[in-house]
Amino acid sequence: MKTIAIIAHDGKKPEMVQFLNENRDILHAKNIRLIATGTTGTKTEAAGYEVEKLLSGPLGGDAQIAARIAEGQVQMVIFFRDPLDKHPHEPDIFMLMRLCDVHNVPLATNPATAELLVRGL
Ligand SMILES: O=C(CO)COP(=O)(O)O
């Protein structure tokens, strides 16, 4: 079973919910397991998905997902970043993205890319 980590900054959470709604069939058909940072996870549950919720991003959620990536437990990351906002946990965000590259884990940072990745599952 593949695990996808999903994360969205506040300004991008509506787009994440829309993405999850639009891709429900494929995610269910492929038996995907979801993990998420705290608030993104709450929105994901509200959209009708089962999801393992980690800490909220600013409290270490990105770092927790980064650790899972380093341990080989995550096969894809969908991270809708808000490029127009500042984030106090920027170092954690960079660490997560860096570890995707270190471990060759597909990373989508916008819905157009995420759509292509999910179609390739
Ligand atoms: O801050 C985040 C990613 O950097 C997201 O965290 P939340 O899902 O808890 O809002």
Q: What is the 8-class DSSP label of residue 74? A: -
Q: CB under 6 Å to ligand 1: residues?
A: 7, 9, 37-40, 56-58, 61-62, 87, 89, 93
| Nearest residue to 39 (alpha-carbon basis) of 61, 23, 19, 20 | 61
Which residue is listed with tokens 């808000």? 82
Q: Give residue-wise pLDDT tens across range 106-116.
A: 999 999 999 99
Give the Å distance between the CA of 32 and the centre of ligand 1: 21
Mean pLDDT of 52-78: 98
pLDDT classification of 27: cutoffs 50, 70, 90? very high
Q: Answer yes or no: 10 catalytic.
A: no
Q: Whose CA is nearest to atom 4 of ligand 1?
A: 57
State the ipTM, two decimals. Answer: 0.98
Give percent above pLDDT 70 in the chain: 100
Helix boundaries (H) for the chain: 13-22, 24-29, 38-46, 61-70, 90-102, 111-119
CATH of the domain at 66: 3.40.50.1380
* Domain tally, the chain: 1
Give the Å distance between the CA of 79 and the centre of ligand 1: 9
pLDDT of residue 89: 96
pLDDT of residue 96: 98
pLDDT of residue 20: 97
> What domain range includes position 73?
3-119
